[in-house]
Structure 1
Amino acid sequence: MPKEWTIKRFAVLSVEELYQILKLRSEVFVVEQNCVYLDIDDKDQKALHLFKQIDGKMVAYARLFKSNDYFENAAIGRVATHPDFRAKKMGHALMSQAIQAIENHFGEKKITISAQLYLKKFYETHGFVQTSEMYLEDDIPHIEMKKN
Structure 2
Amino acid sequence: MSDDNKNPEQIARDEIDGQLNLSGWVIQSKSELNPAAALGVAVREYQTDVGPADYVLFVDGQAAGVLEAKQESWGQNLTTVEQQSSGYAAAKLKWVSNSAPLPFVYESTGTITRFTNGQDPKPRSREVFAVHRPATLKAWLRAQQMA
- Please give the TM-score of this superposition, normalised by the length of structure 2: 0.40
Task: Pick 1 or 2: higher relative contact order, CA cutoff 8 A, min separation 6.
Answer: 2
- Please give the TM-score of this superposition, normalised by the length of structure 1: 0.39
